[in-house]
Homo-oligomer: A and B are copies of this chain.
Amino acid sequence: MDQDRVDNGLRRFESLCRERGLPLTVQRREILKALLQRDDHPTADQVYGCVKERITGLSRTTVYRVLETLVRLGVVRRLHHPGTSVRFDGKISRHHHLVCRKCNRVIDLENRSLDHLELSSMRLHGFQVEDYSVHLVGVCADCGRKSRPTS
């Protein structure tokens, strides 16, 4: 867990809320904190699962709603990856993903060379690029071991 990411994220969130007159609720803070502390890419339900112990009476609906708010504020990213339900990513700096086509796990990939792809020369037909990321699809280490037994 990256304590700096947690602190910075929470601070940025609080100032954004003040800026826009959004009330700072326990639910919002705890849900964001939970996301910032993990470095996987949980679904709304998984977030609910780990936050409900800290906030008694937390509603699943609230989790969906708060996650939506956090995405709108730009402190969290929404991911669309295999496995039916939407995933959330507490890491908003540019990074890339390894996607396992067997277990649907999504693993962060940090790589400086991928962070600076030359896009300016592309024919984008008027599309305004704001960010990008590279998705590497394949089989993760765990799944690779399982399918090809200890050779």
Interface residues of A (CB under 8 A from B): 78, 80-82, 98, 100-101, 107, 109, 111, 113-114, 117-119, 121-122, 124-141, 144
Contacts and interface: CB of A to CB of B under 8 A. Distances in A.
In the complex this chain forms, how many copies of it are found? 2
25 contacts: A78-B82, A80-B80, A98-B127, A109-B122, A111-B122, A113-B118, A117-B117, A117-B134, A119-B136, A125-B141, A126-B140, A126-B144, A127-B136, A127-B138, A127-B139, A127-B141, A127-B144, A128-B138, A128-B139, A128-B144, A129-B137, A130-B137, A131-B136, A133-B134, A135-B135
A76 to B, nearest CB: 14
A123 to B, nearest CB: 8
Contacts of A133: 134-135, 137
